[in-house]
């Protein structure tokens, strides 16, 4: 045999020498679920190890993550039912605990990159990302609300605005609104290619944000989130967002959509983000709980595969754990 690939796998030193992909804690984004009560720490049953935290707990948690090398965070609000309505008006309220928390966090840790969530669903009594009109999610009626939400978030101190709603034209609308309000340096991480996935379950549990069973209201998000069967359509969505001024293009979920991550990586020069979503993490955690998988090894492999596919940025509930394994020198 003239060629023996095993020669390059003989020792840990050689394997490190020829390793093609490296995933650093600095590439990861830690999600945070924010609860209004300042000292809250509530477990999420379908996502073991992740909590809904009040701002005081968030400040502590972010400090711990920074010490491990995580520098970016994406925050989502768990809004009490009484504050929800059909147009999500609490999203831009002066009293909004999510906006106040962002200001506080950036004051405590000015060095972090703090990413927001723009969509109506955490605030909507219908559980949809847009406004329901005549039994439909109305695109153009939703855009001004998303724009106002984005400006309020930029004003509160978020560094990056994260539209997760999948309305058409929202990146351009948000870019113009931010610029008009003077926030020309606030970036947009667009959920460009977000599929109507079955893997968002634990997230919707955490925020109690699933579409509601009401007359006239659709119970799924298939009229705005993408069909998991489609690949070329992902390129169309990404091209629109790039043209509309997005600073990052996101694919979501990640593990079931590695081909899409690769497609976007090849077609675009913007950074590609991948959202390793709640259900993808929960499956692995559940198997590990039963002793069927080794959590550290399986999670590391999953994250590495997302990076290898072409993601520059990975949002994952495993961020903090990965960073601690990295720090220990084991991976």
Give the x-and-dash track for 53-92 against ligand PBG (CB under 6 A): ----------------------------------------
* Cβ partners under 8 Å of residue 44, min gap 6: 33, 50, 51, 52, 202, 205, 206
Is 194 a residue of the active site? yes
Give the x-and-dash track for 246-285 against ligand PBG (CB under 6 A): -------------------------------xx-------
The dihedrals phi and psi of 322, each to the nearest 5 degrees, come to: -60, -45
Q: Which stretch binds ligand PBG (CB under 6 A): 63-71, 92-100, 115-123, 323-331?
A: 115-123
- Of the residues 84, 221, 252, 320, which is catalytic? 252
Chain mean position to CA 64? 20
Q: Can you point out the beta strands (E) in the chain?
A: 28-34, 41-43, 51-53, 72-77, 113-115, 131-133, 136-138, 160-161, 187-194, 248-252, 272-276, 313-316
**Distances in Å between the alpha carbon of 247 and those of 14, 136, 190, 260, 308?**
37, 30, 8, 18, 21
The dihedrals phi and psi of 29, each to the nearest 5 degrees, come to: -120, 125
- Of 128-157, which residues contact ligand PBG (CB under 6 A)? 129
Of the candidate residues 164, 186, 316, 324, the single one contacting ligand PBG (CB under 6 A): 164
Of the candidate residues 204, 212, 262, 308, the single one contacting ligand PBG (CB under 6 A): 204
203 binds ligand PBG (CB under 6 A): yes
What's the min distance (Å) between Cβ of 157 and ligand PBG? 20
And the tokens for 112?
């972090």
Q: Contact 123/146 with Cβ under 8 angstroms?
A: no
What's the min distance (Å) between Cβ of 170 and ligand PBG? 12
The residue ranges that bind ligand PBG (CB under 6 A) are: 117, 119, 121, 129, 164, 200, 203-204, 221, 277-278
Active site residues: 194, 252
């Amino acid at each position: 045999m003239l060629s023996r690939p095993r020669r390059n796998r003989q020792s840990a030193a050689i394997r490190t020498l020829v390793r093609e992909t490296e995933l650093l804690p600095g590439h990861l984004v830690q999600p945070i679920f924010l609860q209004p009560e300042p000292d809250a720490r509530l477990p999420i049953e379908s996502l073991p190890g992740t909590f809904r935290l009040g701002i005081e707990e968030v400040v502590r948690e972010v400090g711990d993550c920074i010490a491990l090398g995580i520098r970016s965070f994406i925050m989502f609000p768990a809004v009490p039912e009484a504050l929800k309505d059909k147009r999500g008006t609490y999203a831009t309220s002066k009293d909004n605990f999510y906006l106040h928390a962002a200001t506080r966090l950036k004051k405590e840790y000015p060095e972090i990159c703090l990413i927001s969530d723009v969509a109506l669903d955490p605030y909507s009594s219908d559980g949809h990302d847009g406004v329901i009109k005549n039994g439909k999610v109305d695109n153009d009626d939703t855009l001004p609300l998303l724009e106002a939400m984005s400006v309020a978030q930029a004003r509160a101190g978020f560094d990056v605005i994260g539209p997760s709603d999948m309305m058409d034209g929202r990146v351009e609308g948000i870019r113009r609104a931010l610029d008009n309000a003077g926030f020309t340096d606030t970036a947009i991480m667009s959920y460009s290619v977000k599929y109507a996935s079955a893997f968002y379950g634990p997230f919707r549990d955490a925020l109690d944000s699933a579409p509601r069973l009401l007359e006239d209201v659709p119970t799924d998000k298939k009229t705005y989130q993408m069909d998991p069967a489609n690949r070329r359509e992902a390129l169309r969505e990404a091209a629109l967002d790039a043209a509309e001024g997005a600073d990052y293009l996101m694919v979501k979920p990640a593990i079931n959509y590695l081909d899409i991550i690769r497609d976007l990586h090849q077609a675009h020069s913007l950074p590609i983000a991948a959202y390793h979503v709640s259900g993808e993490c929960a499956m692995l955690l559940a198997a590990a709980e039963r002793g069927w998988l080794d959590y550290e090894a399986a999670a590391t492999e999953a994250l590495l595969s997302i990076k290898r596919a072409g993601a520059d940025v990975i949002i994952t509930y495993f961020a903090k754990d990965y960073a601690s394994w990295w720090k220990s020198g084991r991976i």
